[in-house]
């Protein structure tokens, strides 16, 4: 998008001066102030390559105290800031719109403590999710969140977006597993809520406000989180199914028959798998093609028991003709390969022209949305791969076990004509079934004008009131959803 297509005016914020830079240099280590144009590039550009800001300054504090000093100063000077973690967000929330100062948490990357009895981890916000998970695995635990961007995203970014991921079905939302956090408010006040308690009913649960606030209420600097024991046995099955009705039946039966060992239930349509096949050398898990595929993962403590349970479950599905085909991973490598057919979808859909929708809708309606969008694209003659209309199709996949569909329309480049076909059509569709227009990615910049499709006027007013209270000068992540 160009500046014109942002349709946004720069707010009445201060302009950076050499005096400001001198102040930041006085409080931060040498590598904590980034001004080089080439170095700034990765902080200004989002993962989707859809949004690009023009910040001339990135600050990389090492301590909460430094974050506090930076914000106090910015608040006094009314300098706008954007908190940034791993910059893997998918709604344009992590990059500046104009010249906001980027505050990157990348240098706050230490594990603070871990209790191997309770499984409670306390870590800096800038610890990369995969690093946290690797650390925990060595102690016999896992991080209770996993997602395709694990190699880059930060746990602070995960909390700030309330990321859902691939195993929410099993380990629940971060609103449940985060026990406490530390955050710095716009005026530099440090909120010290780094509790390690599972139970604490002493007044409002303030940490919940920051979970999913997308950098608009404060900068999260540390997180305390309850981690799950590492499963001793993990297995996965990849299934081919002839209809979405069969997918739903399979899900119902998986909950009943696999019950306590079910750890993921992901669904992918044929378009999504064709894209992975086209852009990788991976061998397809199943021979024939099917309109739907399901990846089921089990995690338990007894391999023989779990394998027998999974086998019996799959035999039953085949016998009752609920599934058309299926394969079970025979070892760790096969398990990883099966997961690739799910995890590689976002990457292989490409950067540079994907319309992404991340919605919660009643399970039965889920792929009706994908079909309706496809019909709409076809009716408008934009399906296929012509130079004029490079929309290829409506692609659906997602965390079906959580009622969360990812609807994507990959184009070769962003196209206003196609956008007008999709928006507000998709949002109206979701609103009619009382769904959510953002199940897990947040609103950021991309969806800020559509919040009313999922929240009523009273709720939006309360959100604005909170923002005014916590950040009266609106310096934190401006132009985004509040």
Site residues for ligand MLT per CB under 6 A: 148, 345-346, 358, 398, 406
In order of 2, 49, 105, 439, the CA distances from 435 in angstroms are: 31, 28, 33, 9
215 binds, among ligand FAD, ligand MLT, none (CB under 5 to 8 A by kind): ligand FAD
Q: Which residue's CB is nearer to ligand MLT, number 85 or number 346?
A: 346
Name the binder of 105 from ligand MLT, ligand FAD, none, CB < 5-8 A by kind: ligand FAD
Give the integer Cα–Cα distance in Å for 403 and 426. 16
Give the chain's count of helices (H) and strands (E): 18, 18
CB of 191 to ligand FAD, least distance (A): 12
Note the residues at the interface with ligand FAD (CB under 6 A).
Answer: 47, 82-90, 93-94, 105, 125, 147-149, 153-154, 156-158, 160-161, 163-166, 214-215, 219-220, 346-347, 440-441, 444, 477
| Contact in structure between 293 and 241 (CB atoms under 8 Å) | yes
Q: How far is the CB of 398 from ligand MLT (least distance, A)?
A: 6
Q: How far is the CB of 315 from ligand MLT (least distance, A)?
A: 29
Provide DSSP, 96-148. -SSSPEEEE-TT---EEEEETTTTEEEEETTSBHHHHHHHHHHTTEE-S---T
**Based on CB atoms, which residue is closest to ligand MLT, 297 or 358?**
358
Q: Name the binder of 154 from ligand MLT, ligand FAD, none, CB < 5-8 A by kind.
A: ligand FAD
Partner that binds at residue 406, options ligand FAD, ligand MLT, none, CB closer than 5 to 8 Å by kind: ligand MLT
Residue 158 near which of ligand FAD, ligand MLT, none (CB within 5-8 Å, type-dependent) = ligand FAD
The least distance separating ligand MLT from the CB of residue 384, rounded to whole angstroms, comes to 22
Taking CA atoms, 227 is separated from 19, 122, 160, 260, in Å, by: 44, 10, 18, 17
Q: How far is CA 278 from CA 375, 410, 473, in A?
A: 23, 14, 49
Q: Which is nearer to ligand FAD, 346 or 410 (CB)?
A: 346
Closer residue to ligand MLT in complex, CB, 220/345: 345
Tokens 């449940």 map to which residue? 176
Phi and psi of 297, rounded to 5°?
-120, 140
- Give least dist CB 182 to ligand FAD, A: 10
Residue of this chain nearest to ligand MLT (CB atom): 346
CB of 307 to ligand FAD, least distance (A): 27
Element (H, E) at 38: helix 37-44
Q: Closest separation between CB of residue 105 and ligand FAD, Å?
A: 5
Secondary structure class of 374 (helix, strand, coil): helix
Nearer to ligand MLT, 264 or 377 (CB): 264
Between 150 and 309, name the residue whose CB sits nearer to ligand FAD.
Answer: 150
In the complex, what is the shortest distance from the CB of residue 42 to ligand MLT, in angstroms, rounded to a whole number?
A: 20
In three-state secondary structure terms, 275 is: helix
Task: Spell out the alpha helix ranges (H) of 324-479.
Answer: 332-343, 345-349, 366-379, 416-422, 425-432, 457-470
The site partner of 267 among ligand FAD, ligand MLT, none (C-beta below 5 to 8 Å per kind) is none
Residue 235, strand partner residues: 298
Nearby residues of 427 by Cβ (< 8 Å), 6 or more positions away: 437, 450, 453
Q: Which does 157 bind (CB under 5 to 8 A by kind): ligand MLT, ligand FAD, none?
A: ligand FAD
Q: State both tokens at 218.
A: 């404060």
- 133 touches which of ligand MLT, ligand FAD, none (CB within 5 to 8 A by kind)? none
């Amino acid at each position: 998008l160009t500046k014109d297509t942002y349709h946004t005016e720069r707010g009445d914020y201060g302009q950076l001066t050499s005096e400001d830079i001198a102040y930041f240099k006085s409080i931060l280590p040498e590598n904590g102030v980034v001004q080089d144009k080439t170095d700034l590039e990765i902080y200004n550009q989002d993962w989707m390559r859809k949004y690009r800001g023009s910040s001339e300054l990135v600050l990389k504090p090492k301590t909460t105290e430094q974050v506090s000093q930076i914000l106090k100063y910015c608040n006094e000077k009314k300098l706008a800031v954007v908190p940034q973690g791993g910059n893997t967000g998918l709604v344009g929330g992590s990059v500046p719109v104009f010249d906001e100062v980027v505050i990157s948490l990348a240098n706050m990357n230490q594990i603070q403590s871990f209790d191997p009895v309770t499984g409670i981890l306390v870590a800096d916000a800038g610890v990369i999710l995969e690093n946290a998970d690797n650390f925990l695995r060595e102690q016999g635990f896992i991080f209770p969140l996993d997602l395709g961007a694990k190699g880059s995203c930060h746990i602070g970014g995960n909390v700030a977006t309330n990321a859902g991921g691939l195993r929410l079905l099993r380990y629940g939302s971060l609103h449940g597993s985060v026990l406490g956090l530390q955050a710095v408010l716009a005026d530099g006040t440090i909120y010290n809520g780094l509790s390690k308690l599972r139970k604490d009913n002493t007044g409002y649960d303030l940490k919940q406000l920051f979970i999913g606030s997308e950098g608009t209420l404060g900068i999260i600097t540390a997180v305390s989180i309850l981690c799950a024991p590492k499963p001793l046995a993990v297995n996965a099955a990849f299934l081919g199914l002839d209809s979405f009705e069969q997918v739903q039946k399979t899900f119902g039966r998986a909950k009943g028959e696999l019950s306590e060992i079910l750890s993921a239930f992901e669904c992918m349509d044929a378009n999504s798998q064709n894209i992975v096949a086209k852009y990788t050398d991976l061998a397809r898990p199943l021979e024939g093609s099917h309109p739907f595929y399901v990846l089921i993962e089990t995690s338990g403590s007894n391999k023989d028991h779990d394998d027998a349970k999974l086998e019996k479950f799959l035999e039953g599905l085949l016998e009752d003709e609920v599934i058309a085909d299926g394969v079970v991973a025979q070892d760790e490598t096969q398990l990883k390969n099966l997961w690739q057919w799910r995890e590689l979808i976002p990457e292989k859909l490409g950067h540079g022209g994907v319309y992404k929708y991340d919605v919660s809708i009643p399970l039965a309606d889920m792929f009706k949305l994908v079909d309706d969008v496809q019909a709409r694209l076809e009716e408008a003659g934009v399906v296929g791969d012509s130079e004029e209309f490079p929309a290829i199709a409506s692609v659906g996949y997602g965390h079906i076990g959580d009622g969360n569909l990812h609807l994507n329309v990959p184009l070769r480049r962003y196209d206003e004509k196609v956008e007008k076909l999709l928006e507000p059509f998709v949002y109206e569709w979701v609103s009619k079934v009382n769904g959510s227009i953002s199940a897990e990615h947040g609103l950021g910049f991309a969806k800020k004008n559509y919040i009313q499709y999922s929240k009523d006027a009273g709720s939006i007013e309360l959100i604005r009131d909170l923002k005014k209270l916590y950040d009266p000068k609106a310096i934190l992540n401006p132009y985004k959803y509040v």
